[in-house]
Amino acid sequence: MPHTIYMESPLEDRILLAHGSGGKLAHELIKSRFVPAFDNTFLSRLDDSAVIEVSGRLAFTTDSFVVSPIFFPGGDIGRLAVCGTVNDLAMAGAKPLYLSLALIIEEGLLQSELSRIIGSVREAAREADVEIVTGDTKVVNRGSADRLFINTAGVGLIPHGVNISGHNARPGDIVILSGTIGDHGIAVLSQREGLSFSAPLQSDCAPLGGLVAGMLKISPSIHCLRDPTRGGLATTLNEIAEQSGVGIRIEEEKIRVRSEVLGACEMLGLDPLYIANEGKLVAVVPPQEAGRVVEAMRKHQYGKDAEIIGEVVAEHPRRVVMKTILGASLIVDMLVGDPLPRIC
Amino acid sequence: MPHTIYMESPLEDRILLAHGSGGKLAHELIKSRFVPAFDNTFLSRLDDSAVIEVSGRLAFTTDSFVVSPIFFPGGDIGRLAVCGTVNDLAMAGAKPLYLSLALIIEEGLLQSELSRIIGSVREAAREADVEIVTGDTKVVNRGSADRLFINTAGVGLIPHGVNISGHNARPGDIVILSGTIGDHGIAVLSQREGLSFSAPLQSDCAPLGGLVAGMLKISPSIHCLRDPTRGGLATTLNEIAEQSGVGIRIEEEKIRVRSEVLGACEMLGLDPLYIANEGKLVAVVPPQEAGRVVEAMRKHQYGKDAEIIGEVVAEHPRRVVMKTILGASLIVDMLVGDPLPRIC
C-alpha cells in the first residue's frame, strides 16, 4: 500500500493495526473512547464478560452490519447497528436491555469518523434505553475489510404472558404495517450512487422498542411482529406465511410509499415491496384487537402512519397474494437475488 | 473483478452476494446448512430472536474473529469463534450456555470451505456443551472482506457464590498458568508464512468451560480468571495488576514454552510472553487454595501442565515483574504495537 494514502492527515488521526492488538493502543482506545461514551458500571469493569442480573424469558439475537457507505442520509452504521438489534429483540416482544458492540475496522479509518459513529451508537442506545455492556475491537490491514463492520448482539426480557413468533399467525388475523416502506434502502442507495431527489430522502432507521411496548400494553396477545429489513415487506410476509402455514392477502392501495421512493424505484427498476426498511414493523393481531392496536401505534412517532394492510387467510397456505390498485391479484414471492447488496 | 476467478469451480459451489440478501438463497442457506448443523429448537424456529429461559447472574460477552488464514494447524476460524467466546464466559466463572453466530462472508468463498467451518463450529459447540441459538449471515462483494469473519456472542450462568473479576487480585494470592504459552500464535503464523517445524506445532484452541467448572468445584473463591489471548500472558497479567491495583511477580523458569515455539520466537524476534493463546488460562487464587486448584487442573486435559508461576504482591502496584532464569528482575510491560496482527 502506498504511504501517500496516509498523508491526508497525520498518522495519529487514523486507526492502526495496533489498535486491535489487545495491547497498549487497544487499551487506550477502549478507555478513552468506549468507556466514557457508554458510561455504565458493566462495561467500565473491563472484564472478559459483562455480568448482568436477569430472570425470566430472555430474547437473544445478533446482527452484523456491513452497510456501504457507512454514513447515509438519516443515519450511519452506528445508529443502524443499535436499531437493528434492538428491533430484533422488540420483534420477540422483549424489552431490549443490554447490547454488545463488536467492531471490525479497516486500518486507516479516520479517528474522527470512528468518534462520530461511536457518538451515533451512544445516541441510539440512549433513545432505545439500552446499555452497551461489552465489546470487542479488531483491526484488519487495508484492503481486508471495507472501512468498518459492526456486530451487535442483544438480550431483552419478554414480559409475562407475551408469546410472539412467526409461527403464530392464524386465519382471520389482521396484518398491520407501521408506516411507509423502502425509505432506508433508497436512502442508502441514493448516497452510494450519488442520486439526488428534489425532497431530501432519509433512512427510517429507528429503535422500535417503545412502539412495541405501547402495542403490547393495549394487546398482549399480538401474534407476530417482524421488521421488514433485508428482502423488504414481501419477504417478511412470505416468512410469516411459511412459518405459520397460512395464506396472507394484502391490498396494494393500503401500502404507503413516499413519492421519492416510488420515483427512484421506477427509475431503477426496483420494487418497493423488496426494499429494506430499518424502522418499520409488521404486526399480525387477532381481529378484535386490530383497531385498538392501530390506534395505539398512531400515537407513537414511529407508528403514526400505521395502517391495516391485509389479513391472514386459510386459503393458499404459504403464499402472499396482493390485490393491486387496478384490481388484479398477484402472487408476491420472496426476494430472489439481491438487487441492493450491503444495505444494512 | 475478472470472471475467470469463478472458473475454478462451478458457480453454485461458491457463496454469492444473494446468499446474504435475506431472500430465497439466504433462506436456503439457513435451512440447508445452519439449522441441521446446530439442530436445536431455539434456532429452528427462525424468529428474529431466540427465546431462552434463564434466571440469575448472567455473563454476556462478544468477540469477532478475523484470523488469517482461516484454516490453521489445530483448528480453524470456526473452532476459534466458539472457543473464544466460551472462554470469555468461563473467565467470568460462568457456565457457558448459548451462543450467537454471525458470519461476514466475502463473495466467492467456496461452499465446501463454509461447510467445513460450520462443521468445526458444531464440533466445538458440542465439546463446549453450548448451543448456537441465533445467527446472521452477511455477504460482501469481493475485495471488501478477507474470505470470512465470524462474530460470536454468548451468555452463561454464574453459579451462586462465585465472584470472579480482574479487580479481585489481593496481595498474597497465587498466580497459576494452565499450560504452555504461544502455541496458537506461532501455529497461525507458521501457516501464514509457510514456516515448517520438525515437530508439527498445533494451535491450543480449546473450550475451557469444563476446566473452569472443575476448578470452581474445588475452590468457589477463585479471585481472577483470564485467558491470555491477544497480547499474550504479559498483557493479561498487566491487565489484572492494573485492574486490582496490585503488583505481580512471576518466575520465568515456571513458564512452559514448547521448544518449537521458542525456536520460532528466537528466529522471528518475538517474545512468547506476548504471543496469543486460545486454550490457556491464568488463575489468581487465595494462597491456601492454590495447591488443590493446581491438582484439580492437572486432572483435566486442558490443564494437565498447570503450574504456579508467581504471586500477587503489595509492592510495585500496577507492575508485573519477572525473575529471569538468570536471576535478574525485569519489568514486563503490556504489549506495545502488534507483532502478529489477525491472530484471532
Predicted confidence pLDDT, tens digits, chain A (344 residues): 333 344 445 556 999 999 998 899 999 999 999 999 998 988 888 888 999 998 899 999 999 999 999 999 999 999 999 999 999 999 999 999 999 999 999 999 999 999 999 999 999 999 999 999 999 999 999 999 999 999 999 999 999 999 999 999 999 999 999 999 999 999 999 999 888 877 779 999 999 999 999 999 999 999 999 999 999 999 999 999 999 999 999 999 999 999 999 999 999 999 999 999 999 999 999 999 999 999 999 999 999 999 999 999 999 999 999 999 999 999 999 999 888 899 99
Length of chain A measured in residues: 344
What 3-state class would DSSP assign to A128? helix
Query: What gap in Å lies between CA A44 and CA A50, rounded to an integer?
Result: 9
Residue A305: the pLDDT is: 98
pLDDT greater than 90 at residue B138: yes
Residue B12: the pLDDT is: 60
Q: Which residue has the cell 525473575?
A: B323
Q: Which of A151, A131, A134, A130 is nearest to A48 (CA)?
A: A134
Please write the tens of the pLDDT for every residue from B143-161.
999 999 999 999 999 999 9
N-term to C-term CA, chain A: 28
Arithmetic mean of pLDDT, B201-225: 97
What 3-state class would DSSP assign to A6? helix
How many CA atoms lie less than 13 Å away from A198 in the CB half-sphere?
4
Arithmetic mean of pLDDT, B14-24: 92
Annotate chain A with three-state secondary structure.
Answer: CCHHHHCCCCHHHECCHHHHCCCHHHHHHHHHHHHHHCCCCCHHHCCCCEEEEEEEEEEEEEEEECCCCCEECCEEHHHHHHHHHHHHHHCCCCEEEEEEEEEEEECCCEHHHHHHHHHHHHHHHHHHCCEEEEEEEEEECCCCECCEEEEEEEEEEECCCCCCCCCCCCCCCEEEECCCCCHHHHHHHHHHHCCCCCCCCCCCCCCCHHHHHHHHHHCCCCCEEECCCCCHHHHHHHHHHHHHCCEEEEEHHHCCCCHHHHHHHHHHCCCHHHCCCCCCCEEEECHHHHHHHHHHHHCCCCCCCCEEEEEEECCCCCCEEEECCCCCEEEECCCCCCCCCCCC
Which residues 313-332 on chain A approach chain B with CB closer than 8 angstroms?
A: none
B253 is written with which cell numbers? 523458569
Which residues 271-290 on chain A approach chain B with CB closer than 8 angstroms?
A: 274, 276
Do residues A129 and A96 make contact, with C-beta atoms less than 8 angstroms apart? yes
Query: What gap in Å lies between CA B241 and CA B205, rounded to an integer?
Result: 25
User: ∠ CA(A214), CA(A219), CA(A224), 5° rounding?
Assistant: 95
Please write the tens of the pLDDT for every residue from A56-89.
999 999 999 999 999 999 999 999 999 999 999 9
CB-nearest to B231 from A23, A134, A158 is A23
Chain B residue at shortest CA distance from A55:
B55
Which residues are CB-contacts of B7 (< 8 A; sequence separation ≥ 6)?
Answer: none
Beta-carbon separation of A51 and B57 below 8 A: yes
Please write the tens of the pLDDT for every residue from B70-96.
999 999 999 999 999 999 999 999 999
Beta-carbon separation of B60 and A20 below 8 A: no
Which long-range contacts link B11-16 to residues 24+ away (Cβ below 8 Å)? Answer: B12/B111, B13/B110, B13/B111, B13/B112, B14/B107, B14/B108, B14/B109, B14/B110, B14/B111, B15/B105, B15/B107, B15/B108, B15/B109, B15/B110, B15/B111, B15/B114, B15/B139, B16/B107, B16/B139
Q: How confident is the model at residue B43 (pLDDT cuts 50, 70, 90)?
A: confident
Length of chain B measured in residues: 344
* Residue B98, strand partner residues: B131, B155
Mean pLDDT computed over every residue of chain B: 94
For residue A140, give how far its alpha carbon lies from the nearest alpha carbon of chain B (Å). 7
Query: What gap in Å lies between CA B294 and CA B285, rounded to an integer?
Result: 10
Arithmetic mean of pLDDT, B325-337: 95
Q: What percent of chain A has a predicted confidence (pLDDT) above 90?
A: 87
Going across the sheet that includes B307-313, the strands are: B224-226, B282-285, B174-177, B307-313, B247-251, B320-323, B329-332
Query: What gap in Å lies between CA A329 and CA A8, rounded to an integer?
Result: 57
Which residues are CB-contacts of A54 (< 8 A; sequence separation ≥ 6)?
Answer: A97, A155, A157, B54, B55, B56, B58
Q: How many helices (H) and strands (E) does chain B have?
A: 9, 13
Which residues 177-206 on chain B approach chain A with CB closer than 8 angstroms?
A: none
Which residues are CB-contacts of B176 (< 8 A; sequence separation ≥ 6)?
Answer: B282, B283, B284, B285, B290, B293, B294, B297, B306, B307, B308, B309
B106 is written with which cell numbers? 466475502
Q: How confident is the model at residue B4 (pLDDT cuts 50, 70, 90)?
A: very low
B68 is written with which cell numbers? 488469517
Chain B residue at shortest CA distance from A28:
B336
User: Hey, is the C-beta of B58 within 8 angstroms of any chain A C-beta?
Assistant: yes
Exposed e or buried b per residue across B95-104, where buried means at least 16 C-beta atoms within 10 angstroms of its C-beta: bbbbbbbbbb
Give chain A's domains with CATH numbers: 17-158 (3.30.1330.10), 174-332 (3.90.650.10)
Position B211, amino acid: L
Which residues are CB-contacts of A61 (< 8 A; sequence separation ≥ 6)?
Answer: A85, A88, A89, A92, A153, A154, B48, B49, B50, B100, B134
- Interface ipTM: 0.95
Query: What gap in Å lies between CA A255 and CA B61, rounded to an integer?
Result: 40
Q: Which of A295, A321, A320 is nearest to A306 (CA)?
A: A295
What 3-state class would DSSP assign to B200? coil
Query: What gap in Å lies between CA B134 and CA B328, rounded to an integer?
Result: 52
DSSP A256-299: ---HHHHHHHHHHT--GGGS--SS--EEEE-HHHHHHHHHHHHT
Beta-carbon separation of A335 and B23 below 8 A: yes
pLDDT greater than 90 at residue B271: yes
Q: Quick check: bond before A341 cis, omega within 30?
A: no
Give the H/E segment covering residue A311.
strand A307-313
pLDDT greater than 80 at residue B178: yes
Position B324, amino acid: T
Mutation for A interface: B64, B140, B334, B335, most A CBs within 10 A: B64
Could you give phi then psi for residue B258, rounded to 5 degrees?
Answer: -60, 150
Residue A10: the pLDDT is: 54
Which residues are CB-contacts of B314 (< 8 A; sequence separation ≥ 6)?
Answer: B171, B246, B247
B35 is written with which cell numbers? 439449522
Which residues 243-272 on chain A approach chain B with CB closer than 8 angstroms?
A: 243
Beta-carbon separation of A138 and B64 below 8 A: yes
Query: What gap in Å lies between CA A11 and CA A108, rounded to an integer?
Result: 9
User: Hey, is the C-beta of B169 within 8 angstroms of any chain A C-beta?
Assistant: no
Beta-carbon separation of B21 and A230 below 8 A: yes
